[in-house]
Chains A and B, each alone.
Chain A
Amino acid sequence: EPEVTQTPSHQVTQMGQEVILRCVPISNHLYFYWYRQILGQKVEFLVSFYNNEISEKSEIFDDQFSVERPDGSNFTLKIRSTKLEDSAMYFCASSVLTSGPYEQYFGPGTRLTVT
């Protein structure tokens, strides 16, 4: 069964460094998402991406965040200058654009630890 994959599974970085989290969505999906989950808290939406542009973003997704689809398969989240409060599990999701229910499939997550 096709699945969303994410790399790395765990990333440790120092405050102020740039990180890039990578995702490979399911191949025929057209909508892509990033969510994050700070330890012990609820899952929060960051950004959605369609047709090579951001379609929606939350207030969390400020200027230090960016997303890109550099080729036909990868979808990346970049954090330019990490802060301690960026430590969280980051989930990528994708969905197919059809006339039916738009189920979002989640990857296993990347745990980001900022020290």
Chain B
Amino acid sequence: GNSVTQMEGPVTLSEEAFLTINCTYTATGYPSLFWYVQYPGEGLQLLLKATKADDKGSNKGFEATYRKETTSFHLEKGSVQVSDSAVYFCALRGEGNTPLVFGKGTRLSVIA
């Protein structure tokens, strides 16, 4: 079945540091890929998405590129802020209107 593996956390960075959170997936066909963010005490918010190979999703300075050859969708940000502290979930959805499959989440803490 479909699955998502993302790097274990927690990740602690200083403000303005470069962020990478690795995500790889296993899926049949052509899944859509997502990053969701969960701020403390809140629900899931879609951060960015990509629906086909080589697509780059971007939002709020975050980027991720759909790499079919390496089955990866790594999340990056050039300069993190304290307000980026949250849990980040990589997710995929198979073809059609199928349920999302989530990774375990990576907690990011950014310190001033």
Chain A interfacial positions (CB closer than 8 Å to B): 31, 33, 35, 41-45, 48, 50, 56, 58, 89, 91, 93, 95, 97, 101-109
Contacts and interface: CB of A to CB of B under 8 A. Distances in A.
B43 interface: yes
Most buried by A among B32, B96, B100, B101: B100
B99 A48 contact: yes
Interface of B: 32, 36, 42-46, 49, 51, 89, 91, 93, 96-105
Nearest to B50: A101
Contact of B99 (A56, A97, A103): A56
Tell me whether chain B's interface is mostly helix, strand or loop, or mixed: strand
Contacts of B36: 106
A101 B49 contact: yes
Given A101-B32, A108-B42, A42 B99 contact: no
A45 B99 contact: yes
A25 to B, nearest CB: 14
Contact of B98 (A42, A56, A97, A109): A56
Contact of B93 (A58, A91, A102, A105): A102
